[in-house]
Structure 1
Amino acid sequence: MNNSHPDGHLPSAHEALRALRERAERRRQLITRATDEAAPDAMQRLVQELQTHQIELEMQYEELLVAQAEAEAARTEYVNLYDFAPVGYLTLDEHGVIIQLNLSAAQQLGSVRQRLLRRRFSLFVAEGQRPEFIKFLTAILNSDKRQTCELRFVREDGTFFYSQLEGSRVISPVDDTVSCLVALLDTTARHTATEALAISEARFRQLFDLSPDAVVLVRGMQIVDCNAAAMQLLGATAKRELIDQNISFLVPEFQPGGGRSADLIQQNYAILRRQGSHRFEWYRYTLQQKPIWVEVVLTYITVGAEVLVYAVWRDITAQRAAREQLRAEKELSENLLANSVDGIVALDYEGRVTAWNREAELYSGLREADVRGQLIFTIFPNLDTPEQRYQFEQVVRTGERVVYRSIPFSARSGYYDAYIVPLRGEQQNEINGVLVVIRDITERNRLIEETTRLRLSQQQEVLSAILTTEEAERKRIAEALHNGVGQLLYATKLHLANQPSGTSRRPSEVHALLDEAIRMTRTISFELTPGILEDFGLAYALEELVRRIPHRSLAVHLHLAGLEEPLPRLLEVAVYRIVQELLNNIIKHAQAQEAFIHLVREDDKLAVSVEDNGQGFEVDLSYTPQQGIGLPGLRNRVGLLGGTLLINSRPGLGTIISIELPVK
């Protein structure tokens, strides 16, 4: 039965009653029974009306039966769609109280519907997310749009689940009350998977970012991501400097082995595709063009539906250098072993030969092939004694070194030293054997004897020079005393003796002679031991020395610098004597009219320069003046002080003597 209006809209109640009357009239005309014609008109009309009303009631009954059947069908459909829906449905009032819910909602909340009705829905929301639910409910009540959120719920038994809520506002047409229709979609599995994926991604990201090794992700041939260690390895300050770069970025055209880098990249990728993982060493540059060696490990990983190359770079520049150094040291050791002028024999901890070089063959007359693997005590039976075995065991057990001096070899004349040194493994406290170094000392002994003879000869020469100097100094002092003080005293004596008796003596002449004798004595004393040096220092002593030289004999110019702080006592005395001797040589031998003395101290160096405009000479260490210590003696004195001496002189052009002494 279709009671809809022809235009598609549902009819109003008045229209529905009028349509029902029209249908009843048509039906009555078909089934009505005739009444007695003699009956009054009013009766006939009443009968017709009753018949029509009866027909209406029958039709209404039929329609009620149909409506009941449709309602039952709709109810069944509603029950199937609402109660048994896989999604939870709830109806909440404006305060969030559960008015109605289906079985899925009750199952999600972990209770029966009767216990859930009239309870606040927020009681099942996790405590920390209840403000978010209140915000969600308020948004539903204040908006005509559908609202959604995802919350964590806690059941009565303490278990929890995640659910996505979708809600909309409903206004009752009867009493205009507002309620909320809420759908619950259980997202626990999705949330758990998402959380696990997030944890996995966070773990991967943490391992990726915090890995001490440089890690880059490569798509095709392009770098799509890198960690901080990769940036540090290549000297980058930001990821943008590396991302989107080709993997041949900062790679030289040729690798050190000679292969073209582009070809080697293709070969390594081919191995990666075949094996799924590949490890190799690679030479490249940093952004600062610094060459480095890296160990590269390539592995395929799947990110979503995308396959990337997970590349780990480890800086092995130091290890590579150490390996190259070890190889070079091994080659050097082999070369040293083969080309050493000493005989070298290596023994294991039992005394068996493991190495025997060419010199050892010459010393012993035995080839390496004949002795390798044999006991040293079998090769040389004279060493097979309890004492020799004990010493060998001591070396192996305690690591002590043993030296045998001046041992002869029957196959080669001369004398040799044998050094027995323990061979240690990687653990320094572990001794794996011993190394025997045999050195020919025949020539060394000869050189030592020759050196000893030369040293004795030099010592005799030095002793002779010292004695000669002392004798010359004594002679000079004796001449000064004899020719100076002695003559004055003798003149005084003669002057007193020749005075006629009874005549008055002239004290002034005697006093003048005595004063001259005293002055001469003081001069000699000053030259021997200048007390002014001890009292006032080197600068004042040199100035006093210059003042004592008569200007008519030699004009001396003195320049001093850096002597504010006192020098060591022995150095001051030595410098004073050197300057004094050089001035004496200038006065006696140079025939100069002018001399310049420069004495300058800078930090821990003292420079002495003495220059004259005299006759000069040909520089020769064997040149020795008639008096004084001579230039060789001066050089020896400077050498004893740890200094250097430079003489620049030519005949007729004067002389410059430069001395540099350390200040200790």
Structure 2
Amino acid sequence: MSKSSAESKLRAKAEKIISEKTDLIKDLTLEESQSLLHELEVHQLELEMQNEELRETQHRLEESRDQYTDLFDFAPIGYIVLNERAEIKNINLTGCDLLGIERSFVIGKPLSAYISKGQSRNLFLNLRKAFETGLLPSFEIEMKHKSKGNFMALLQGVITKDQKNKTAVCRVSLSDITELKKAEALQISHESLQKEKEKIQQYLNLAPVVFLLIDTEYKVQMINKKGCELLGYKRQEIIGKHWFGNFINFENHDKVSLIDQSRHKIKGSLIPYFESYIKCGNNESRLMSWTNVALLDNHKQHIGTLIAGEDVTERKKLELRKQKYTEELEQLVEERTKELKEALAKEKNINEMKSAFVSMASHEFRTPLTSILSSTFLIKRYNDMKEYAKERRHIERIKSSVHQLTSVLEDFLSIDKLERGIVAIKKETFDLNEFIAEIIEDFEWMLTENQKIKHVPKGSAEVFLDKKILRNILLNLVSNAIKYSETDVKIRSFVNKKVLKIVVEDKGLGIPEKEHKDLFKKFFRAKNVAHIQGIGLGLSIVKHYVRLLGGTIMFSSKMGEGSTFELVLPLQP
């Protein structure tokens, strides 16, 4: 009914009442009529004021109603009013949107019509309990949207009285928690993955090789304990760093060469296998062997690379040593083959050497024997002539020739025994200074007028050695020094608890430098002493004797300045 129609009816009703009371005011005086008119005017004014207040109150009520209607209809969650039979008495616009149906089609319908199959029992049990207790606890239920399909909803509410018919109703809030459920599921999945990652990390930490995971930008996302220990950094110092820029040494590679350029390979993936050096925190470089596996998502897109690395530094060193040993072995075989060839060549020349030996021995024996024979003849002649003074010189020649023959025979016997290994060592303690003095005395007959043998001792005089072998060594060295020098010969000796050191020095002819390497060989004689008697066995015998005593012998020599031989022998019992 419109406002003007209501006012017309109200006026008609008022006029009827006034017409019924007209007789009451016919007998009123003018004064009473004026007083009554005044009262009517005041009353009319009061009514107008009351009407104005009523209109303002009605306006405020309409505004409040509109505000509550907005709050109800446009709330961010759905509101539904249900009776005990779960019929929808009222629903806001948000609730309609959740169900995908207009309000006019929802009012009076059971809420179960909008619940997924098999979920109605859950609704009725909770609703029955709510009307008993006055509170609908929170519970989840799967509901249906008219066009978008099912969604998960959270329902909770309270029991109140309906203002119109005073019956109990349940005011329910309805929230779409589908995304929340997805987030919760994602969170659970994330936590599960995190636990799985930690579990995998534990297994990887036990691995004896390096494992790491890099993303498509080659940044480290995961690395095991072995990798951290090898690189010398903590895990947090490695995670997020560019793998190639910070930890790979590109001496033999560049980054481009490590990317698989094959037409059929995944873009950005690494070659399956390569070796490189890594830069460790202690400035050490380690050679690593890397195996790479590309990781792909469900769409076959490259999402990262799993890398396994083995430290092959020591293995490579071992391989190099093995290779070097093989090369050395091959070289040794080659040298031995060469030695065998040389031995065969020497064997072919052995008859020539024997002939040379016989010729040399014959010469060495013939000269002193001839000297003895001639001196004996002259001594007999001088004796017949009673020129006894001249006999002495020839007697000395005979003694010298005999000594020379004895020396040659001893050299032959010594070299034979040494080569057959039948020389026994018999050590004893003796005074070295007295021993060298006896040797000097034995050589007095051999010295010229300008020659002397000087001994300079140092250290202890007592030694523990094979006296006979040491004598043979010194006899050879000193006789050579006297033979090839026209000046004094010096013998220097030094003794301590561990070694005996003897140096024999002369100022004679010297030895040509080109012939130094052959000096200790049998039958070798330097070209510059070919005119001096000798068979070339002395130094070879010395070398054998020194080796037998576990010592060493060295020499230095310059042409025209002389030679120095240094003998070092151990004195340990």
TM-score of the superposition, structure 2-length normalised? 0.41
Higher CA-based Rg = 2
TM-score of the superposition, structure 1-length normalised? 0.37
